[in-house]
Amino acid sequence: MPVKNRFAELHDDITAWRRDIHANPELLFDTHRTSALVAENLKTFGCDEVVTGLGRTGVVGVIKGRETGSGKVVGLRADMDALPIEEQTGVDYASEIPGKMHACGHDGHTAMLLGAAQYLVETRNFNGTVVVIFQPAEEGGGGGREMCEDGLMDRFGVQEVYGMHNWPGVPVGEFSIRPGAFFAATDKIEITVVGKGGHAAKPQETIDPSVVAAHLVTALQTIASRNADPIAQLVVSVTSMESSSHAFNVIPSSVRLGGTVRTLSGEMRDMAEARMGELCQHIGQAFGARVTLDYERNYPVMANHADQTAFAADMARRVSGACADAPLVMGGEDFAFMLEERPGAYILMGNGDSAPVHHPEYNFNDEAIPMGCSWWAEIAEQRMPL
C-alpha cells in the first residue's frame, strides 16, 4: 500500500499547521495555544468527542468507525511541547518566541496526527474506535504519566496505543523499530558537597569541596566501567558543576553536581543508584566532607510489546516498503508511561539529512508528512478492519 493519496492532497494544510506550531513554541505543560489549535481542528473535522485539559493541557479526540461492533479501541499519540533553545534555522517560520523552539519535531508529530485524524473522520474505514492523543510535556515534564493518571486509558477504553518519532540521519520514507526495551530509563541526580571554605592561600584550614567533587566525577564513571556488565547499557553523566563561590581566591564552602543516569533494565537502574550512594558516602568521609545525593527516578524504560511491534512494522512496510531494525536509544521517552498501561509500540521515521534533535539548527522535514500520516491511518484501518 503506497502513501495514501488523500495525504498528498492535505500536505499543504498539514504543513501550514506544522509551521504555525513551529513559529509559536510552548514548553512543558504550557501548551495552551497549541492545545487550542488541536482541539479546534478536531472539532472542525467532526470528531465524535473532543476532550481538553487531560494531563493539564492534553487533548483527546474520539473517532468512531463506520462500524463499532468489534469493540476495539486503538490510541494514537503525538507530543506537542517544544524546548528551551534559541533557534538558529533561519527559516521564515522560525520561532517568534526568544529562547524557545521546536527542536525535536513535536510540531511535526502533532501536525501529522491532526492530518491522520482528518482523514479518519472523513473515511471512517474501520470497525472500532480511534482515540487520538495529543500530549504536553514530553521533554522532561512527564505529560504522558499525568494523562494516564487522569484516567486516559480507562476513560476512553484504549486497548492498544501507538506512537512515532522522527529520526534525523535516516532517509525520509524509511522506518525502524525494535521489540522490548527501546528507549532508556532516565534518572536525574543532584549531589551536594559541603566542606569548609576559606582563603585559597590557606587550603590546610579548609575542606575543599571542589577537590571532593572532582574525585566524585571521576569515581562515578567507574559505575559503568567497573560495576556494570560490559555488555549492559548504562550511562552516567555529570552535566553541571556549580560552586558557592565565584572568586578566584576563595575556596568555596559547597559544590553542587547535576547529571543523569540512563539504563535499559531494572537491575542496572537499581545497581547504579545503590553504587552512587555508596561512592558519595565514602568519598565524602575520606575527605571529611558531607555529601548528599538526591536521586530522582524519572522516565522508566520504554519497552515495545512484541505483537504490537510486529504489527507496527508491517504497517510501515505497507507505507514505505521496508522497516529496519532500530538501534537501542539511551535517550528517554515518556511514551513509556503509556506502554506501561497498555500494550503498544513506538516507531522511528526518517527525517532526512537534518541537524540532530535538540540542536538549534534542527527542523522537522515536511516531506515526511505523508508517510507519517499514512502509517497512523494504516494502524487504525488494519488493526480494526471492516
The residue assigned the cell 555508596 is 278
Per-residue model confidence (pLDDT) at position 4: 79
Could you tell me the pLDDT band of residue 112, with boundaries at 50, 70 and 90?
very high
Per-residue model confidence (pLDDT) at position 1: 46
Pairing of the two strands 175-177 and 344-350: antiparallel
For the residues 309-319, what does the mean pLDDT come to?
Answer: 97
Q: 142: which residues sit within 8 A by CB, 6+ positions away?
A: 298, 299, 334, 337
Class for the domain spanning 5-183+301-383: alpha beta
SS3 191: strand
Instruction: Give pLDDT tens digits for 255-288.
Output: 999 999 999 999 999 999 999 999 999 999 999 9
Handedness of CA 345, 106, 380, 56 (dihedral sign): positive
| Cα–Cα distances in angstroms (integers) from residue 103 to residues 53, 117, 126, 190, 279, in the given order | 25, 24, 35, 26, 36
The domain defined by 186-299 carries CATH number 3.30.360.10: no
Q: Is the pLDDT of residue 242 over 90?
A: yes
What does pTM read for this prediction? Answer: 0.95
Instruction: Give pLDDT tens digits for 50-86.
Output: 999 999 999 999 999 999 999 999 999 999 999 999 9
Q: Is the pLDDT of residue 352 over 80?
A: yes
Per-residue model confidence (pLDDT) at position 2: 56
Hey, what's the cell of 299? 522516565
Q: Would you say 346 and 286 are in contact if contact means Cβ atoms under 8 Å apart?
A: no
Nearest to 54 by CA among 17, 29, 75: 29
Nearest to 319 by CA among 116, 28, 111, 97: 116
**Domain residue extents for the chain:** 5-183+301-383, 186-299
